[in-house]
Structure 1
Amino acid sequence: MPWTLPSRPSRRSLLVGAAGAAGAALLTGCSDDHPTRADVTIPLERRMREAAVRDSTRLLDRYDATAAAHPALAARLAPLRAAVAAHTTALALTPSDPPSPSPSGSGSTGAAAPAASGAPVPPKPADALNALADAERSLSESRTIDLAGAPGELARLLASVAACGAVHAYLLTSTPGATS
């Protein structure tokens, strides 16, 4: 006996159809002028890299402001600042970009850094180091959280930079050796 269509749709097929229509409506959005529509056209990796570069640039500004406010700390901060500048350069490069010949193009001058970073440098050197360590720690934690949504290569880079930031926080709060 040949199979024939039922005369009316089953309850199951109606529910499946309604769920499919609702899912399609959610995926397409309510209107064409959705405020985040421009963000959707920019690849996730690019948006994440741009945010990471902005965060690293702010951290560079904090290093510059701290060194300017406490010149005696400048030598101690120099290698850490150089590492942050290198991270900024690495985060700015996409996998298809060639490396630049000069990684020192951070654009940071240090003169207006307290206003740019949003927080003034504490007047005591120890407090200034602690504030800088807090900024490093906070950025490291933020990057660790960002790992979950990052594409493969960027996730590895963020993990490395986050680990380095945690080490910087430790070095900023530890007592320097007798040779420094």
Structure 2
Amino acid sequence: MPWTPPLRPSRRSLLAGAAGAAGAALLTGCSDGAAEPHATAAFSLERRMRESAVRDSERLLERYDTTSVTHPALAARLAPLRAAVAAHTAALAFPEPSPATTRTPGTGSARGSAAPARTGTPTASAEPVPPKAEDALTALADAERTLAEARTVALGGAPGELARLLASVAACGAVHAHLLTSTPGATP
């Protein structure tokens, strides 16, 4: 005769199920709706790292601008590299909430958004630009290389997605350093 399950659960199976559910609740923990401390700390770390990376990229943009102003003959050569640094600045900016959900009360306007890439008039940098164009390119390449190395070091402490972005931006900075010190049109 084949075995058939009982039509209703036994008291033992009900108690086992209740004990299992209670154990699962203890393992997963309860939440009052507030963010977990670990998640908040990671969020804060990412925000700080992104803000620092944006400041570094903005300083690099200023160096590109100052070099272009000091050596106008280099402006066309520097323009695509500067545009890439501006794109990196925008990509590294901390993503802000959607404008649809963050309206400033009474104005109907959205609050803050990701830092826009600067594309306007060049600004002066605190860093002096060497008087010779070749030396200016070398100084800019050194700034790119230094920033790329700093971003590579920062990868170890960065959250996953930011680490991937920093790696990509660091690689691009290393390429910029190479392009700034190579002779345009020359074959390797």
Same fold, judged at TM 0.5 (above) = yes
Counterpart-to-counterpart distance in 1, 2:153 and 2:53: 12
Matches within 5 A, 1:12-91: 43-91=44-92
Tell me the alpha carbon deviations over residues 154-176 of structure 1, each in whole angstroms, 9 at most, x when there is no partner.
00000000000000000000000
Do residues 110 (structure 1) and 111 (structure 2) align?
no
| Aligned amino acid, residue 168 of structure 2 | S
Max radius of gyration: which structure? 2
Which consecutive unaligned segments of at least 5 residues does structure 2 have?
1-40, 100-111
Task: Name the TM-score, length of structure 1 as normaliser.
Answer: 0.67
Contact 1:86/1:103 (<8 A) preserved: no
- Name the CA distance, whole Å, in 2 between partners of 1:171 and 1:41: 36
Report whether the alignment pairs 1:170 with 2:182: no
Q: Deviations over 1:83-114 (max 9, x none)?
A: 0000000000438668x99986427743322x
Contact 2:96–2:113 under 8 Å retained in 1:
no
Deviation at 1:74, TM superposition (A): 0.2
Give the TM-score normalised by structure 2.
0.64
Question: C-alpha separation between the residues in 2 aligned to 1:86 and 1:169?
Answer: 17
Contact 2:46 2:162 in 1 (8 A): yes
Picking from 131, 138, 150, the partner of 1:123 is 131
- C-alpha contact (below 8 Å) 1:61/1:108 kept by paired residues: no
Seq. identity, %: 70
Number of residue-to-residue matches in the alignment: 134
Tell me, yes or no, if structure 1 residue 143 matches structure 2 residue 151: yes
Relative distance call for 1:83 and 1:66 in structure 2 (3 A) is same
- Please identify which structure carries the higher helix content: 1
